[in-house]
Structure 1
Amino acid sequence: MGKSSVGFEIHAQLSAVGVRHCLIEGDNLDMAYPSPWEHSLAERNLAAMWANYRALGYRRLIYTNTVSVRQVDVLTAAMGDDPRVTAVLLTADDGTARQRLAQREIGTALDRHIERSDLAARQLEQLSPDWVHRVPTDGRSVAGIAARAIELAGWTAES
């Protein structure tokens, strides 16, 4: 289970109770080779997609991306408005993270993915602002984690 699974579950839970929202998978906004980072492609694509959703009346956005909790200012500036942001960092202990990677990765790349995952987890924990909500995922269901994120955002059928 990871950020995409939780994002899709948030979408399912909000849809089930009639809360208007949209979901953008941030990892897909600049997935290209060679990497277009220097052109701010993710921000440009987010701006374009959000403008389209806003034009249709959407005001709630579920945005999933690995390092977005460290780039909130850049991402909200790209959106062109002044959104209220509830940032959530999903956490797991080393054993849980390794187990999940082993289920997802096969072949010789597993060790490299574990090493990168360990480093990324440490950096995210250390460099994410204090106001970012840390939600442990160890031993929890995707539905429970999604429900917690919805609760943190204050998104109910009435809000």
Structure 2
Amino acid sequence: MPVLIISGPVGVGKTSVAGEIFDQLIARDISHAVIDLDNLGLCWPFGEEDPYNDRMAMRNLADVWRNYAAAGVERLVIARVVETRDELAAYRAAVPGADVVVCQLMADKQTLLGRVARREAGSSQEALARRAVELADSLAKSDVADIVVSTADRELTDIALEVLRTAHWIESD
């Protein structure tokens, strides 16, 4: 089962790129589903020693995936930060037979902070800005990515098409 995880720091465009991938795959009549995994973990209180509610998100991913698989979905795109290769075991457990490719989106810190400032007007803006910088630094040093794609100063469609081509989900035009 092909699984494409769109990862990267806060503000890099994971959700937007995943949405454009959805549209591009529809245009090519390729069966797929897109999940913004952050939304599957939005509940309070978080699990003990689980600051990003990963365990809840993974339990929900397994349940949602079963429904998609029963409907005949043949590919899965997930938007979610992946910081280490060790985390991929949980994805493989939630999606049996998953052939996981991690695409790390990247942008310079100024771009990330600008996007966070525009997108997050609420009380979490400052924390998300700090997290964006923290993740940009840690992901730059990690070996989790199979594919790395820049999002700064680029059109969304171009980014999504590069991700899909590099992951070998579509052919080059």
Provide TM-score, normalisation by structure 1: 0.85
Residue 147 (structure 1) aligned to one of 161, 165, 168:
161
Q: How well do the aligned residues superpose, as a CA RMSD in angstroms?
A: 2.3
Counterpart in 1 of 2:110? Answer: 95
Distance in 2, matches of 1:30 and 1:57, equals: 24
Displacement of 1:105: 2.7
User: Is this contact kept in 1: 2:33–2:73, CA < 8 A?
Assistant: yes
Counting aligned pairs with the same residue, the percent is 33
Unaligned runs of 5+ in 2: 1-11
Structure with the larger strand share = 2
Displacement of 1:97: 1.0
Q: Decide whether aligned partners of structure 1 residues 145 and 69 sit closer, same or farther in structure 2, where only a CA change above 3 A counts.
A: farther
Displacement of 1:5: 0.6
- The count of aligned residue pairs is 155
Distance in 2, matches of 1:39 and 1:135, equals: 25
Displacement of 1:67: 2.7
Displacement of 1:45: 0.9
Q: Decide whether aligned partners of structure 1 residues 39 and 19 sit closer, same or farther in structure 2, where only a CA change above 3 A counts.
A: closer
Secondary structure of the corresponding residue to residue 166 of structure 2: helix
Residue 32 (structure 1) aligned to one of 32, 43, 62:
43
Q: Say whether residues 1:75 and 2:86 are aligned partners.
A: no
Displacement of 1:6: 0.5
User: Is this contact kept in 1: 2:62–2:94, CA < 8 A?
Assistant: yes
User: Is this contact kept in 2: 1:23–1:63, CA < 8 A?
Assistant: yes
Displacement of 1:30: 1.2
Q: Say whether residues 1:60 and 2:75 are aligned partners.
A: yes
Q: Say whether residues 1:46 and 2:61 are aligned partners.
A: yes
Distance in 1, matches of 2:26 and 2:16, equals: 15
Displacement of 1:11: 0.2
Displacement of 1:153: 2.3
Secondary structure of the corresponding residue to residue 63 of structure 1: strand
Unaligned runs of 5+ in 1: none
Counterpart of 1:65 in structure 2: which amino acid? R
Provide TM-score, normalisation by structure 2: 0.79
